[in-house]
Amino acid sequence: MTRTTRRPTAEAVTFPTARQRPLDPPDELGRWRREAPLLRLAYPDGHLGWLATRFSTVRAVLADPRFSNRAELTHVPVGRSARELSLLRFPPGMFLRMDPPEHTRYRRLLTGQFTVRRMRLLEPRIARIAAGLLEEMAAAGPPADLVRAYALPIPSLVICELLGVPYRDHERFQRDSATLLSLERGTEEKLVALDGLIAYLTDLVRHKRDEPGDDLLSGLVASGGLTEEEIAGVACLLLIAGHETTANMIALGVFTLLQHPEQLAAVRDDPDVAGTAVEELLRYLTIVHIGPTRTALEDVELEGHTIRAGETVTVSLSAANRDPEWFDRPDELDVRRPPAPHLAFGHGVHQCLGQQLARIELRIALPALLRRFPDLRLAVTPGEVPMRTDMNIYGVHRLPVTW
């Protein structure tokens, strides 16, 4: 039996970025999720593609090998054009923008480094880092910017130690990372940041060859399976992802809990809540708030529509993680919610490699902060907290707190 292809009749929408409430996705995403799992999406460069908002549709796209993640095929839903994205010339080793089998080759070299067992071995060190930062905050006294004092240093220190990157250079790679993740910076600025970061990491890899240490980069050098340029590309991806995402989850998670006192008290006072709270905050906040995107390598039938080869599909993880077909009371924060699969770390072959590390960092960082400062509160009104609507990773630019 021949399946009838139903084409959309409504005009194409544009991807919404304006939030009516800082902790909730744009209202349009929820409305479109109710109306249709796939909508025509107009991209800034003139491309006409698609937007997926339902949990099942998003997961189907991310799991389907007929959709590519290669940069040269991608059209971006907001900000700069696809052409400008391709000009960034992602270096060898930066496997996020690759498809199998190239992506698989790099990922296999790293999977064993990020197992649950290996990440749990880091727990005592992460706890010591958090405790040390909290004592520094206490000694300095209030107020404090929680981003700079706590949320950013924890994952930065951890990923630096794991990779073998000197933490003394953190201001440099944090600045370059912020440039690369900005929705407003131009291509030339991003090229300078990327080239500078790769040059720095290439020099570091050469140093590891001469003076190896007990770290991931030294292990990759010793394995002999990758070139210096490839190892630098791998390091660049892990360094950026390893501190940006978790830092924003810590800061945005605290901002959220401070506006939900009963939920905050549960995280602070009940040790059994930490695990479920982390999963709930990951789902509820979904800081990867724009995309990801995939491009069809061939015609694909999905939800009654034909996605033509070459058409880009943007999937909204934020909308999917608030889908009432998958989550009871999805727009409510419930830190005691029973664990349920969510898409905060993506899905399919590109699912976040460091998700177990992020979970452990969050499970340690949030309760430790709330117990050390039981009277923690905002030093400004919620409306005065600058949100990261201008960045690919959502969160807060600063979080002024007092106690």
The whole-angstrom separation of Cα 172 and Cα 180 is 13
Confidence grade of residue 382 (pLDDT, cut at 50, 70, 90): very high
Query: What contacts 34, CB < 8 A, 6 or more positions away?
Result: none
Residue 286 lies in a domain: yes
Helices and strands of the chain, counted as H and E runs: 16, 10
pLDDT for 1 beyond 80: no
Q: Report residue 257 as tokens.
A: 């809990």
> pLDDT per residue over 346-369, tens digit each?
999 999 999 999 999 999 999 999
What confidence score (pLDDT) does residue 281 get? 98
Q: Is the dihedral of CA 112, 169, 129, 254 positive or negative?
A: negative
pLDDT average, residue stretch 263-278? 96
Of 184, 259, 345, 267, nearest to 21 by C-alpha is 259
Confidence grade of residue 295 (pLDDT, cut at 50, 70, 90): very high
| Pair 342, 279: CB distance under 8 Å | yes
Residue 13 lies in a domain: no
pLDDT for 165 beyond 80: yes
Residue 20 lies in a domain: no
The whole-angstrom separation of Cα 90 and Cα 102 is 14
Residue 280 lies in a domain: yes
For position 75, which CATH number holds?
A: 1.10.630.10
**Lowest mean pLDDT, pick from 185-189, 204-208, 323-327:** 185-189
Number of domains in the chain: 1
> pLDDT per residue over 14-36, tens digit each?
999 999 999 999 999 999 999 99
Q: Report residue 267 as tokens.
A: 């995280």
The whole-angstrom separation of Cα 389 and Cα 182 is 9
Q: In which element (H, E) is residue 141 found?
A: none
Residue 367 lies in a domain: yes
pLDDT for 82 beyond 80: no
Residue 198 lies in a domain: yes
What confidence score (pLDDT) does residue 112 get? 85
Classify residue 29 as exposed, middle or buried by CB count within 10 Å of its CB (0-12, 13-18, 19+): buried
> Can you name the residues that pair with 344 across neighbouring β-strands?
none
Query: What contacts 80, CB < 8 A, 6 or more positions away?
Result: 44, 183, 186, 187
| Integer CA distances (angstroms), 286 to 75, 204, 346, in order | 22, 33, 10
Between helix 153-163 and helix 216-223 the angle, nearest 10°, is 30
Residue 207 lies in a domain: yes
What confidence score (pLDDT) does residue 9 get? 41
The whole-angstrom separation of Cα 357 and Cα 162 is 11
Residue 200 lies in a domain: yes
Q: In what order do the strands lie in the sheet with 293-296?
A: 38-42, 48-52, 312-315, 293-296, 67-68
pLDDT average, residue stretch 204-210? 94
pLDDT average, residue stretch 270-289? 96
| Integer CA distances (angstroms), 3 to 301, 304, 306, 338, in order | 9, 8, 11, 39
Query: What contacts 82, CB < 8 A, 6 or more positions away?
Result: 43, 45, 47, 74, 75, 76, 312
The residue segments making up the domain with residue 68 are: 28-402
Instruction: To the nearest 10°, report the CA torsion of 304, 309, 312, 313.
Output: 30
Q: Report residue 193 as tokens.
A: 């940041």
The whole-angstrom separation of Cα 35 and Cα 256 is 29
Ramachandran quadrant class, 162 (left: phi over 0; alpha: psi -120 to 50; beta: rest): alpha
The whole-angstrom separation of Cα 160 and Cα 168 is 10
Ramachandran quadrant class, 89 (left: phi over 0; alpha: psi -120 to 50; beta: rest): left
What confidence score (pLDDT) does residue 22 get? 97
